[in-house]
A = this chain, B = another copy of it.
């Protein structure tokens, strides 16, 4: 496995510049698929899991994923490499912490990745920068169609695609957007908004997925229902909710930028100064300041800073990335020092 060119830059989904990139960091679609004739991954004995991997590898490797693609055997990879993949959102914590034959296949631009033997035999994921749910869905569907021609999917005429957990059955589709909501958080409006979102069948998660805290004011919003609706309806349910949410964040930003101008500038300039001067900094503090700096760049409080260079630090300043860069594992306090040095160099 050769990840050495990955740990110095963020994936395509962090590059920003697209639609509503002021608030929407990325748009992600994943499709859950299983092979007919095998038990679900968690119930499959090891030899069958290995057989599944063997069965899907050739079809995966024939996918047109750009100039270069990687297959990573998670049961053979270094712990640190697996962690880097989690931090880059290429694999889930579940796949990282799983057992037996399993892996991931992804293109070097990191738009498409396919996890094998996570909860389902196949988890096809496409993630793009900014608001681009259609594009992500198209990318995932193209992979799905290519694989469907070569692999016997488990499908029921009544339920649609069968999945290990019934909450994923039907379309197997989960669509999500990663939102940067610093103003809603700052003005303490975020809980109210998320309560409204969950009433419309949407789920809210932190930056690193289910069960993780919301660091850096980053939130994933996704659909909860996969069954009984078409793919288009599922995408629509997410897309229909977004304008109101974006408008709410925007209104709060405007309030900060006008009535709260001094406090906003203070927070933003202090955050950048701390990132540029700390000699030791925790991951949490780093994410919090990065959030303020990102807001400052978007609102024009900070000039001369590239939004991409700020956003990709959300990924690159994480523990496994720092250790990968250092070429060895680091104790927590060494890591905090290494992070501070990395941030100073990146934001100089």
CA distance A269 to B274 in the complex (A): 8
What mask results when residues 182 to 195 of chain A are scored 1 for a CB within 8 Å of chain B, else 0? 00000000000000
- Within 8 Å by CB of A266, from B263, B266, B276, B278, lies B278
CA distance A278 to B262 in the complex (A): 10
CB distance from A301 to the nearest CB of B (A): 10
CA distance A108 to B272 in the complex (A): 41
Interchain CB contact under 8 A, A337 and B262? yes
CA distance A229 to B170 in the complex (A): 95
CB distance from A290 to the nearest CB of B (A): 16
- Using Cβ atoms and an 8 Å threshold, which residues of chain B touch A279? 262-263, 265-266, 269
Among A261-298, those with CB < 8 Å from B are 262-263, 265-266, 269-270, 272-274, 276-280
Q: Is the interface of A mostly helix, strand, loop or mixed?
A: helix
Q: Verify if A132 is at the interface (C-beta below 8 Å from B).
A: no
Interchain CB contact under 8 A, A270 and B274? yes
Q: Verify if A340 is at the interface (C-beta below 8 Å from B).
A: yes
Interchain CB contact under 8 A, B278 and A269? yes
- Using Cβ atoms and an 8 Å threshold, which residues of chain B touch A337? 262
Chain A residues within 8 Å of chain B by Cβ, number: 17
- Using Cβ atoms and an 8 Å threshold, which residues of chain B touch A263? 279-280
- Using Cβ atoms and an 8 Å threshold, which residues of chain B touch A265? 279
CA distance A262 to B280 in the complex (A): 7
What mask results when residues 12 to 29 of chain A are scored 1 for a CB within 8 Å of chain B, else 0? 000000000000000000
Interchain CB contact under 8 A, A273 and B277? yes
CA distance A340 to B272 in the complex (A): 16
Shortest Cβ distance from A272 into B: residue = B277
CA distance A182 to B285 in the complex (A): 25
Interchain CB contact under 8 A, A340 and B266? yes
CA distance A279 to B273 in the complex (A): 12
- Within 8 Å by CB of A273, from B262, B266, B276, B280, lies B276
- Using Cβ atoms and an 8 Å threshold, which residues of chain B touch A262? 279-280, 333, 337
Among A315-341, those with CB < 8 Å from B are 333, 337, 340
- Using Cβ atoms and an 8 Å threshold, which residues of chain B touch A277? 269-270, 272-273
CA distance A278 to B277 in the complex (A): 14
CA distance A265 to B269 in the complex (A): 20
CA distance A206 to B43 in the complex (A): 70
CB distance from A289 to the nearest CB of B (A): 11
Shortest Cβ distance from A301 into B: residue = B279
CA distance A270 to B333 in the complex (A): 17
Q: CB within 8 Å of B: which residues of A?
A: 262-263, 265-266, 269-270, 272-274, 276-280, 333, 337, 340
The 9 closest A-B pairs by CB, nearest first: A273-B277, A266-B279, A273-B273, A269-B277, A265-B279, A266-B280, A262-B280, A262-B279, A270-B277
Q: 7 additional contacts, CB 8 Å, given A262-B337, A266-B340, A273-B276? A: A262-B279, A262-B280, A263-B279, A269-B278, A269-B279, A270-B277, A273-B273
